[in-house]
Amino acid sequence: MTAGHRTTHEVLNQAPPFCGHDTYSQDPWLRAALARAGVQGMEAAFTEMGRFVGSAEAQHHAALANRYTPELKTHDRYGNRLDEVEYHPSYHVLMRRAIGAGLHSLAWKRQEAPFSARAGLCYLWNQLEQGTSCPVTMTFASIPMFEQAPDIAGAWRRKVLADAYDPRLGRVESKPGVTIGMAMTEKQGGSDLRAVQTAATRDGSAWRLNGHKWFCSAPMSDAFFTLARVPEGVTCFFVPRTLADGSRNAIYLQRLKEKVGNRSNASSEIEYHDTSAWLVGEPGRGIPTLINMAHHTRFDIVVAVAGMMRAALNEALHHARHRSAFGKRLVEQPVMANVLADLALEAEGAMLLAFRLAAAFDASAHDERERELQRVLTPIAKYWLCKRLTPVAAEAMECLGGNGYVEESPLARLYREAPLNGIWEGSANVICLDALRALSRSAEAFAAIAAEAALARDARIDRRIAWAGRCLADPATAATGARSIVEALALGMQAALMKRHSDPSAAEAFCVSRLDSSDAGRALGTLEGDAASLGAIAARARLPAG
């Protein structure tokens, strides 16, 4: 004991810090998924990201960025309006890293398996921090929007793809890189965007907006896609924060939301007063125009949630391997083995679904069936993985006992973050209705799901998919049973992917517990099976370093 450093006891039976590992190289699930997708030439980038995510340094930045939350500066010291948000330096470190790695741009630059390659990076990133994922994903999803706005796209598109993070506000030409946000939700309606009241009036070649937005995340973004009303109906506009002459556009930040989670990211309430804006797409077609952006952010949420489940599982496995109770390591206690095995099935099923969706995005340009699959699987996967994340995060937290429920544990942050994914970018009911719309609009969409599920050659999966098909055929059943139908399709897809790509005993446990067991309980950790087989499922999921 050193002088002045007195302790009353020796610290025993605590897990060592879970850091210093490589979340890419040590994760055989992820490596296999990327190999299946045909992602090549990314080894160095994935390894670099995997090491950063697993490092104590990155975890420290993530903790600081979320503890010291963004502050709104409405005015400067002389009383002039500023409308800026000040972030903790760690937030900028993380943003610089994410943007520098092309987390937002890779899918638009690569030729081979572009969405899968980017999904690999995003899956890793979301094992670290989610506040930064919000501006990253909106910036990623801005590229299809620029295709609908060729007059604006020029410098903006180039600067999005430049992989340079510059947090200062300024003219687009003066900045090495830019980030883009989206401002749609108003007080009277978020899901139902037909309720938008912000008004747009023509002013020469531009427009003036007057109104408000009730949620506008990442308000220090360089520009926003937004919605406003013209005589033809709700219309999409592009609103830069800095105008061509270098002056600030009239975007007034009213307040920052005090959020349950996602705390490193600022989410604001804003007002437009004669704000300069440029038309995107056709007047009156704002919602279909912006849906393209939302479709890509929904895809990102699927990948993010799969990564978050992996992070939760890793923490639980690590703790259970190092902590002992009642004479055995937790991982050797049969009930805990059951819980860990169930968490592993959930995380692997999520990962497989996310990367299958990424592959469908990759193939969409040249394969009609994959395009159908991508369209319909995005809301299906978004609904189901978001619904599963909160119980997974809570159960993983409980595996750590009291250590899980304190702010020093990354699980506290992950737990608070979990429900948000189900709310934004389409809340559960809205997402299920969207999936049903896609299924009813095109018989090929259901056929694409059924064909994919049939590849597993398992009668239990076929039965579940056929049941969903019958429900869909009856509009009254479909209207009230939307969630059950979407869940059945998601589970059918996950089970088929598990059968084809996972270990046979894990795949069988997934099918028994999720498709055909009437005896299983509703909580996680109620799988059938003996301690040895459940322990093997959990052991297979563990990162070697954990």
> Which residue, 181 or 529, has its beta carbon nearer to ligand FAD?
181
Burial classification of residue 202, based on how many CB atoms lie within 10 Å of its CB (0-12 exposed, 13-18 middle, 19 or more buried): exposed
* Smallest separation, CB 183 to ligand FAD (Å): 5
Q: Is 291 an interacting residue with respect to ligand FAD (CB under 6 A)? A: no
* Smallest separation, CB 505 to ligand FAD (Å): 37
> Which residue, 420 or 491, has its beta carbon nearer to ligand FAD?
420
Secondary structure (3-state) at 73:
strand
Q: Tell me the C-alpha distance between 375 and 346, whole Å.
A: 23
Give Cβ neighbours of residue 72 (< 8 Å, ≥ 6 apart).
Answer: 84, 85, 253, 255, 256, 266, 268
Phi, psi of 155 (to 5 degrees): -65, -35
Per-residue binder mask for ligand FAD (CB under 6 A), 191-230, x = binder: xx----------------------xxx-------------
Q: Is 189 an interacting residue with respect to ligand FAD (CB under 6 A)? A: yes
* Smallest separation, CB 290 to ligand FAD (Å): 9
Give Cβ neighbours of residue 457 (< 8 Å, ≥ 6 apart).
Answer: 499
Q: How many residues bind ligand FAD (CB under 6 A)?
A: 23
Per-residue binder mask for ligand FAD (CB under 6 A), 410-429, x = binder: ----------x--xx--xxx
Per-residue binder mask for ligand FAD (CB under 6 A), 17-56, x = binder: ----------------------------------------
> Which residue, 65 or 183, has its beta carbon nearer to ligand FAD?
183
Secondary structure (3-state) at 167:
coil
* Paired sense of beta strands 267-280 and 328-329, if any: unpaired
* Smallest separation, CB 311 to ligand FAD (Å): 20
Distance set, CA 159 to CA 94, 140, 179, 276 (Å) = 19, 12, 8, 21
Distance set, CA 204 to CA 153, 224, 248, 278, 522 (Å) = 19, 21, 19, 11, 61
* Paired sense of beta strands 223-230 and 180-183, if any: parallel
* Smallest separation, CB 146 to ligand FAD (Å): 18
Q: Which residues, 499 to 518, sit near ligand FAD by CB under 6 A?
A: none
* Smallest separation, CB 379 to ligand FAD (Å): 12
* Smallest separation, CB 449 to ligand FAD (Å): 23
Amino acid identity of residue 488, one-letter, is A
Q: Is 400 an interacting residue with respect to ligand FAD (CB under 6 A)? A: no
Instruction: Tell me the longest C-alpha to C-alpha distance in the chain.
Output: 78
Per-residue binder mask for ligand FAD (CB under 6 A), 453-492, x = binder: ----------------------------------------
* Smallest separation, CB 227 to ligand FAD (Å): 8
* Smallest separation, CB 20 to ligand FAD (Å): 32
> Which residue, 218 or 495, has its beta carbon nearer to ligand FAD?
218
Q: Is 390 an interacting residue with respect to ligand FAD (CB under 6 A)? A: no
Neighbours of 410 (CB within 10 A): 23
> Which residue, 167 or 190, has its beta carbon nearer to ligand FAD?
190
Conformational region of residue 195, where left means phi above 0, alpha means psi within -120 to 50, and beta covers everything else? alpha
Per-residue binder mask for ligand FAD (CB under 6 A), 119-158, x = binder: ----------------------------------------
Per-residue binder mask for ligand FAD (CB under 6 A), 427-446, x = binder: xxxx--x-------------
* Smallest separation, CB 304 to ligand FAD (Å): 14
Phi, psi of 148 (to 5 degrees): -90, 0
Distance set, CA 125 to CA 46, 304, 329, 534 (Å) = 10, 8, 30, 29
Buried residues in 72-94 as b, exposed as e (16+ CB within 10 A) = beeeeeeeeeebbbebbebbebb
Q: Which residues, 164 to 183, sit near ligand FAD by CB under 6 A?
A: 181-183
> Which residue, 104 or 464, has its beta carbon nearer to ligand FAD?
104
* Smallest separation, CB 22 to ligand FAD (Å): 31
> Which residue, 162 or 430, has its beta carbon nearer to ligand FAD?
430
Q: Which of 45, 48, 92, 190 binds ligand FAD (CB under 6 A)?
A: 190
Nearest residue to ligand FAD, scored by beta-carbon proximity = 190
- Find, among 327, 331, 357, 363, the residue nearest to 344 by Cα: 331
Q: Tell me the C-alpha distance between 184 and 196, whole Å.
A: 8
> Which residue, 60 or 437, has its beta carbon nearer to ligand FAD?
437
Which string of DSSP letters, residue by residue, matches 204-225? Answer: TTEEEEEEEEEEEESTTSSEEE
- Find, among 364, 377, 381, the residue nearest to 452 by Cα: 377
Q: 359: which strand partners?
A: none
Contact criterion met (CB below 8 Å) for 181 and 216: yes
Q: Which of 262, 264, 289, 513 binds ligand FAD (CB under 6 A)?
A: 262
Q: Which of 126, 139, 267, 289 binds ligand FAD (CB under 6 A)?
A: 267
Q: Which of 51, 73, 171, 259 binds ligand FAD (CB under 6 A)?
A: 259
Neighbours of 440 (CB within 10 A): 14
Give Cβ neighbours of residue 230 (< 8 Å, ≥ 6 apart).
Answer: 199, 200, 283, 284
- Give the interface with ligand FAD as residue ranges (CB under 6 A): 181-185, 189-192, 215-217, 259, 262, 267, 420, 423-424, 427-430, 433
